[in-house]
Each structure stands twice: as C-alpha cells, then as structure tokens.
Amino acid sequence: MSLHFELVTPARLVRSEDVYMVVVPGGEGDFGVLVGHAPVMSTIRDDGALMVYKTEGAAPEEIRVRGGFAEVGDKGLTVLAEHVEG
C-alpha cells in the first residue's frame, strides 16, 4: 500500500502519484504522512519544504511551496499551493 499524493496549484495539477511517505512542514510543526494517516487539515509554513519519499528509505525529494495547505483524507494527501518553486 502506498500513499496517494497530489500537489495542485491554481494553474495546474503538478503531481499526482503514489509515494511511500511525505513529510509536511505544517503550521504547527512538521509531520510525516504515511498511508492510512488520520484525517488532518493543516496550513503549510512558507519557509518549509515538502519531503517526498518515493519508496521506503529512498532519498527524499524536496518541493518548496508558498501559500500551501495540506489535507489528508481517505484519498490520500492533497497539497494545495499557490506557488510551487523549482
């Protein structure tokens, strides 16, 4: 089982893929999201970066977002961001 991760900006759907884990820099601290995570809605700090782990133990991929918002639900993790850098 893997986590479905979506990254969406107003202009387009940037990512839609299955990953192992994403570490989200939430407004009140970082948290890792694995499959089956309890539903959460959280703001994202502008100075943080999303760490995307494709598989267990793999080197994380860093995605910087501005004006972000994370939602964890049944369908996985959805990050709404106004701007994605890089």
Tokens linked to 30: 């970082």
Please give the full DSSP string across 56-75, using - where no structure is assigned.
TTPPPEEEEEEEEEEEEETT
Selected from 23, 34, 40, 51, the binder of other proteins by CB under 8 A is 40
Q: Is residue 34 close enough to count as binding other proteins by CB under 8 A?
A: no
Among 4, 61, 66, 78, binds other proteins (CB under 8 A): 78
Compute the distance between CA of residue 28 and CA of residue 83 in angstroms, rounded to an integer.
20
Where do contacts with other proteins occur on this chain (CB under 8 A)? 6, 8-13, 26-28, 38-43, 67, 69, 71, 73-74, 78, 80, 82
